[in-house]
Amino acid sequence: MTLSPQIISSLVLDARRQARKRKRRSPTTATHVAETTTVLSDGTSCEHKYTMQKSARVLGPYRNGDKWRLVVLDGGSRKAVVAETHEAALALRDDLQGALKKHIARSFEESLEEYLKNLVDRGVSHDTADKVRRMLRPFLPLDEPLTAIDGERAAQMYLDETKRTKSNGEPIANDSHHLLLRRIKHFYKWAISRRYVTSNPFAEVSPIGRPRRGKQQLRIDEARKLVTTAMERAKTLDAGSTAILMQIFLGLRPTEALVRLVRDLDDEGRILWVPFGKTSNAKRRLQIPDALREILLLHAKDKPADAPLLGPRGDALHTRDIIRYRLKLLCQQLGLPRVCPHSLRGLNATLALDAGATAQHVAAALGHASFATTARHYADASSVANVGLRRVADLLGTRSGSGSGTADVPQLALLLRANLSHAEIQKLREMLEA
């Protein structure tokens, strides 16, 4: 008797459905309770109880007249299947045992590695997958089965994470544990799709605290001081200082600056290609200002096309730590507020908007699909507001103090409706009629 993989899987799932029905009628028949102890960050211990299904297995083959019979046991359920010959029964037993292994409780460690591999297979970069691994491994009880966490324990695990302190003694940021919660929910969504679990214990867990929008940015005079000193160091082929300048002048992400190759510098140093990145919108071509062009050409001098752009000849690709380290030292040296590398992208967006660049162009330069992301996380709120004011001035035909031009009334109406509440529009109408 030959059964297709689909039929084998159907047999196994049918056995498991019967086990669940029997479990609802008599919960002690198919499961037993196990206990585990978790040590919390404050040194106290917390006991957790969880149910584990009895080992699913295949018995046989047994003679059944002139045929051979196999029995699939899963908890309290039994499912019989008959094969024509003894050899066919042995082969079928191996197939059934393999199918059962895919449906029994799996450990977090085993499932997490499979999940990460699935992310990479779907196009997620290895760097992003590694970040997910570093975030989820310390959070999950790796040696326990996926069924070990229920809703109550999930809520407590997340609450403990919000109270955790980092190695420097500072509390974990709200954005960090919000991101962890999103990633753990996505992990369970994947596990449910693989039928490793039937529900997501974190589904009802809500994020705690308000996210912090935007990062502290340098002021214009402070940025000038940083650029002047970074320029001097960049001319000595210091990769960290040059990457800082690339972030400020081009709005690159830290990693985007560091992984550039010599061949990405094009048109005699006037163009920088970014062929890939964090998202599909990261692919772009950027014009390089003259001040930065000279430095990048110095870095590229006498290097092969496939060599790393930054650093002296022979250097390997650097990690983002080199930007964090160099930026911290420069801020300390110059007496500037300590800012993170990512804030330099926000500085780029803010200065570009202040200089009159359109919202769409700024978003495209940063590799964003829309200006909404730029405004929410990067650009200074005042600069975003000024974009709206300049747009109003354009529509009214009053730019450059000319006082001439015809107002685009329909477009102005659309802009006002999009940005004002009903009460504000009514008040504006009253003021115009006064």
Note whether residue 350 is domain-resident: yes
Whole-model pTM over 0.75: no
- The pLDDT tens digits of the residues spanning 99-158 come to 666 555 678 999 999 999 999 888 887 878 898 999 999 999 998 888 889 999 999 999
Note whether residue 206 is domain-resident: no
Domain end point (choices 145, 174, 193):
193
- The pLDDT tens digits of the residues spanning 156-175 come to 999 999 999 888 788 888 88
- Whether 91 and 58 share a structural domain: yes
- Whether 188 and 45 share a structural domain: no
Domain end point (choices 101, 129, 154):
101
- Whether 229 and 375 share a structural domain: yes
Note whether residue 387 is domain-resident: no
- Whether 312 and 177 share a structural domain: no
- Whether 10 and 147 share a structural domain: no
Q: Is the pLDDT of residue 30 over 90?
A: no
Domain that holds residue 404: 397-433
- Whether 172 and 250 share a structural domain: no
The token duo for 306 is 């496939």
Angstrom distance (rounded) from CA 162 to CA 131: 19
Q: Is the pLDDT of residue 42 over 70?
A: no
Note whether residue 201 is domain-resident: no
Note whether residue 209 is domain-resident: no
**Integer CA distances (angstroms), 177 to 142, 150, 157, 205, 286, in order:** 19, 19, 11, 12, 34
**Integer CA distances (angstroms), 137 to 43, 59, 110, 134, in order:** 20, 37, 11, 6
> What's the chain's average pLDDT?
76
pLDDT at 207: 93
- Whether 147 and 260 share a structural domain: no
| Cβ-Cβ contacts under 8 Å for 367 (sequence gap 6 or more) | 253, 256, 274, 277, 278, 279, 281, 282, 283, 284
Note whether residue 186 is domain-resident: yes
- Whether 231 and 349 share a structural domain: yes
- Cis ω for the linkage preceding 304 (within 30 of 0): no
Averaged pLDDT for residues 191-209: 90
Do residues 146 and 195 make contact, with C-beta atoms less than 8 angstroms apart?
Answer: no
pLDDT at 41: 42
210 φ, ψ (degrees, to nearest 5):
-90, 140
- Whether 257 and 173 share a structural domain: no
Predicted confidence band of residue 357 (pLDDT cuts 50, 70, 90): very low
Give the distance, in angstroms, between the CA of residue 41 and the centroid of all CA atoms in the same chain: 26
pLDDT at 164: 92
Note whether residue 208 is domain-resident: no
Of the two residues 323 and 397, the one the predictor is more confident about is 323
Split into its structural domains, the chain has a count of 4
- Whether 63 and 9 share a structural domain: yes
- Whether 412 and 315 share a structural domain: no
- Whether 158 and 24 share a structural domain: no
Nearest to 242 by CA among 258, 256, 218: 258
Amino acid in position 81: V
Note whether residue 389 is domain-resident: no
Instruction: Tell me the DSSP string of 177-226.
Output: HHHHHHHHHHHHHHHHHTTS-SS-TTTTPPP-SPPPPS-----HHHHHHH
pLDDT at 371: 41
Which helix (H) or strand (E) segment is 156 a member of? Answer: helix 151-162
pLDDT at 55: 53
Averaged pLDDT for residues 252-260: 88
Do residues 84 and 2 make contact, with C-beta atoms less than 8 angstroms apart?
Answer: no
* CATH for 151: 1.10.150
Averaged pLDDT for residues 38-65: 59
Angstrom distance (rounded) from CA 344 to CA 346: 5
Domain end point (choices 101, 133, 151):
101
